[in-house]
Amino acid sequence: MNVVFERTPALSDRPTHYCPGCTHGIIHRLVAEALDELGVREKAVGVAPVGCAVLAYNYFNCDVQQAAHGRAPAVATGIKRVNADNVVFTYQGDGDLASIGCAEIVHAAARGEKITTIFVNNAIYGMTGGQMAPTTLEGQKTTTSPYGRKIESTGHPIQVSEMLATLPGAVFVERVSVHDVPNIRKAKKAIKKAFEDQLNGQGFGIVELLSTCPTNWGMAPQEALEWLTGNMIPYYPLGNFRSPEEVE
Amino acid sequence: MPKVEFDRERCKGCELCVPVCPKDIVLMDDVINQKGYRVATVREMDKCIGCAMCAMMCPDTVIKVFK
């Protein structure tokens, strides 16, 4: 009898601190599987954000540096420029990347830094207690928008992939989701492609993954996946916005 | 014969593995683990086809699949 599915070596056996049903665990696994399948675990360096994934260094069996809030792309830039042979990735949430770290990610993409960003978008601040994020949808209730987000006072949610795809330095931009098995497979393919582009020295790559936050959305895990499908995907359409093949 | 193994103590009882099973055999056990969660399990293991859908969906790598 053969093992057809088990924990990949790049993922440590330490149980995660994430809430039940949080899709961070799925995304961690996809990143780890991509590193193992490309055989780059020994030269991979991750940069963890501030947010729920702040303890990511406990879960990846590769080198990981934790960065100041939003500054993961800046730290990753330094690591990659000094050690060009390493495979460097940042793992950031939407509060980290789209709010306080907005300048860092835009300029890392503009400079075409040869790093890969795993951007987990769950439309809310998770760790700090469910506050409104730049990616929170119109009408979505959070602890700081208890009557639902209002466009006239807080503006429109930021579509990060669309924004970064306008920059010539960003060679790979794709938005995927992890709400069901076919989409999880597509997400894995996108992450692997982003790492391959980095290995080929092609430039900045970002994979935006639509994710859930059952605890702060106030939903059961399965209900949260349905909410993602019905509400997030219409505003954050899935698909590839840029790939090196079309840039050349 | 395909089969799945659940690492009970890792399970957080989120139930995401239950609806994705094409054979509808994954269910929540009455047993509670040390973390205090009801854990997922399969009783009719002879119906398992080893598709690994449950394992793909699990956020906590609880499930190991054999075929």
Name the minimum distance, in Å, from the CA of B29 to any CA of chain A: 16
pLDDT of A1 reads 85
- Whether pLDDT at A214 is above 80: yes
**Cβ-based contacts of B52 with chain A (< 8 Å):** 4-5
pLDDT category at A32 given cuts 50, 70, 90 is very high
ipTM given for this complex:
0.96
User: Encoding tokens for residue A101?
Assistant: 């770290």
pLDDT of A247 reads 60
Go through chain B and tell me how many residues it has. 67
| CATH level 3 topology of A24-247 | Rossmann fold (3.40.50)
**Interface contact A20, partner B, CB < 8 A:** yes
Bridge pairing between strands A44-48 and A87-93: parallel
CB contact under 8 A, A16 and B13: no
Contact present, B59 and A225 (Cβ < 8 Å): no
| CATH level 3 topology of B3-52 | Alpha-Beta Plaits (3.30.70)
Choose the closest CB to A20 out of B1, B9, B37: B37
Chain B residue with the nearest C-alpha to that of A219: B14
pLDDT of A161 reads 98
CB contact under 8 A, A222 and B12: no
- Whether pLDDT at A10 is above 70: yes
Burial of A131 (0-12, 13-18, 19+ CB in 10 A): middle
**Interface contact A180, partner B, CB < 8 A:** yes
Choose the closest CB to B61 out of A19, A29, A214: A29
What residue ranges do the domains of chain A occupy?
24-247
Fill in the amino acid letter for A242. R
Contact present, A4 and B67 (Cβ < 8 Å): yes
What residue ranges do the domains of chain B occupy?
3-52
- What tens digit of pLDDT does each residue of A139-194 get? 999 999 999 999 999 999 999 999 999 999 999 999 999 999 999 999 999 999 99
Q: What is the mean pLDDT of the segment spanning B2-24?
A: 97
d(CA A172, CA A198) in angstroms, rounded, equals: 9
CB contact under 8 A, A20 and B66: no
Contact present, B56 and B4 (Cβ < 8 Å): no
Give every CB contact of residue A229 below 8 A, 6+ residues apart in sequence: A177, A179
